[in-house]
Amino acid sequence: MKYMQGKYPIIASTTLAREIYDFTVCCPKIARAAEPGQFVTIAADGFPLRRPVSLCGIDKENGTIRLVFEVRGKGTKEISRLREGDMIDIIAPLGRGFRLKDYKTAILVGGGIGTPPMVPLAKIYGENCVAISGFRSAANVILQEDFKASGAKTVLCTDDGTMGRKGFVTAALREEIEIKKPDVIFACGPSPMIKGVVDIANEYGIPSQISLEERMGCGIGACLVCACRTVRNGEEFYAHVCQDGPVFESKDVIF
Amino acid sequence: MADMRVNIAGVEFKNPVITASGTFGYGREYEHFFPLSKLGGISTKGTTAEKRNGNLAPRIAETPSGILNSVGLQNPGIDKFIKVELPNLKSKDTVIIANIAGFSIEEYAKICEKLDGTNVDMIEINISCPNVKHGGAAFGTSCQSAAEVTKAVRASTKKPIIIKLSPNVTDITEIARAVEAEGADAVSLINTLLGMRIDINSRRPILKNNVGGLSGAAVFPVALRMVWQTANAVKIPVIGMGGISTWEDGIEMMLAGASAIQVGAALFKNPFAAVEIIDGMNDYLDRKGIKSVNEIVKKVQPW
Ligand SMILES: Cc1cc2nc3c(=O)[nH]c(=O)nc-3n(C[C@H](O)[C@H](O)[C@H](O)COP(=O)(O)O)c2cc1C
């Protein structure tokens, strides 16, 4: 599918937690083409590079997409100043999303700001998935209502136990697999978490797909900066997160 | 409509705007935004004799008004380029410049020999790679090694040759003169300026390669100065680049002495930067009543 660049109206904006923003953008063509796991790049006034943000919602009927992002630096701070009614400059939809194939049941694992791309998957799988998410502390927890509304079994973990169960998502993942082994595991989050999830998936022989992050340039596969070590045709190949990813089959990724 | 055509080493470009090597791949990605036929030309991703994966990520860092990159010449190798990418590019109705790189004189010569038998329009020789045989200093940082590369590629192809100069030198005009003397048809400049950034929390350089090349708007005044000096030092055409982001920058660069220009990093923020620069330059010429873009080349009036 072709990606496009344009300025689109923000029709709703809220704050989900400290420094975590939630924009709904009206862009019907993009919404129609977008798939779970894909991302957009947002231009930040005064900064030479766009900021990649994964899709937290795709509403094809209403022609909107939902972008949930964290302020990490000056560029995302600048973007966070946009409000309802403002125009946002995006290129979308970008990258390869999750491959749902004929997987009937799934476990979704999201860590911190890796949680938003799990929401569209929960919408699709509904009762046929378990959505596990992990955050540092109660103050960082986001998107739990969205998972519940989708019908997914929703498991919340915090590192310090201030909300949900105390501990890492990997412990919860193991328990859920023991209860019912899913056809596939989808994960997004900090790299130690991803590594932990993939190890468990491999242990149980469950295929897994992971959404990766890397510093990007063009965002469309031309400048080749966002390299990710993979195996392709039996050889080591530096794939590109923006074009070959952000979602990879974890069996192809060299950790 | 002003006449936007320019001619470099006998090759006609429909306008003077070329997309810069390494920022535009082999054209496939940006074609989703606009037809490549709008461009004066395309300088392809730097291609080497064998395929390369390049450096480990992170390979990009943002800087005030610029970016640092340390891709390390990831490319599929010259044979695949000739077989797969070149035929596609040549169907796009724009000038195709094969940008190549080597780690030995023999490698440069070998790639040019292979390209000689193709329908590529021009070859741009990136001499910013380290000379592996001689301690790793870039070929482009000494007159002698720059001249040696030029001599070798000149002997291995009849295609027009553009030598792409590194700005990481004391006097870029000396290098330009040295490659002109060995038969370069044109020079292009500037490649990226070596730079660095450090994460103050981890105390690690942001780039896994520790250092990388600076480009984008931040380097424009340096690039403009070097193009001006070089255009005054050689008789062959100069292709100017480095931080060009707007049509005004393009006009400035041509006034400084560039016969054509390249646009790179600006595309990352605005994928339409190159085509907007073409339109903006054309409007400027019309407003000023200037009939041909060639009339502004090197027309700066220094004090
Ligand atoms: C990501 C990236 C990759 C590049 N790769 C190459 C390359 O392979 N060969 C080359 O000659 N120049 C390469 N360059 C340098 C550009 O072609 C250009 O000389 C430089 O970026 C200055 O122009 P700009 O400021 O418009 O980007 C690269 C630049 C960037 C940003």
Cα-based torsion angle of the residue sequence B24, B29, B31, B32 in order, rounded to the nearest 10 degrees: -140
Q: For a pocket test of ligand 1, which of B193, B215, B241 has the largest count of ligand atoms closer than 8 A to its C-beta?
A: B215
Contact A224 B67 (CB under 8 A): no
Which residue do the tokens 């036929």 mark? B37
Model confidence pLDDT, tens digit, residues B19-50:
999 999 999 999 999 999 999 999 999 999 99
Among the partner residues B58, B216, B267, nearest to A215 by beta-carbon distance: B58
Contact B61 A216 (CB under 8 A): no
Q: How far is the CA of B6 from the centre of ligand 1 (A)?
A: 22
Q: How far is the CA of B129 from the centre of ligand 1 (A)?
A: 13
* Separation in Å, CA of A52 to nearest CA in chain B: 12
Q: How far is the CA of B165 from the centre of ligand 1 (A)?
A: 12
Model confidence pLDDT, tens digit, residues B129-155:
877 777 777 999 999 999 999 999 999
Whole-number Å distance between alpha carbons of B41 and A161: 59
Pick from B207, B200, B199: nearest CA to B58: B207
DSSP H/E element including A242: none
pTM of the model: 0.96
Whole-number Å distance between alpha carbons of B287 and B281: 10
Can you tell me the ipTM of this complex? 0.95
Give A101: exposed, middle or buried? Use CB within 10 Å, 0-12, 13-18, 19+. Answer: exposed
Mean pLDDT of the region B61-81: 97
Contact B268 A75 (CB under 8 A): no
Q: In chain B, what residues touch A219 (CB-CB under 8 Å)?
A: 268
Q: Which are the contacts of B27, defined by CB distance < 8 A and separation ≥ 6?
A: B19, B36, B42, B44, B88, B89, B92
Mean pLDDT of the region B81-85: 98
Domain ranges in chain B are: 6-296
Q: What domains lie within chain A, and their CATH numbers?
A: 4-94 (2.40.30.10), 98-211 (3.40.50.80), 214-255 (2.10.240.10)
What is the CATH architecture assignment of B6-296?
Answer: Alpha-Beta Barrel (3.20)
If chain A, 255 residues long, is cut into consecutive pieces of 10 residues, what is the mean pLDDT of each piece? 92 96 98 98 97 98 98 96 97 98 97 98 98 98 98 98 96 97 98 97 98 97 97 95 97 96
Active site amino acids of B: 129
Q: In chain A, what residues touch B60 (CB-CB under 8 Å)?
A: 49, 215-217, 223, 225-226
Model confidence pLDDT, tens digit, residues B249-261:
999 999 999 999 9
Q: In chain A, what residues touch B77 (CB-CB under 8 Å)?
A: none
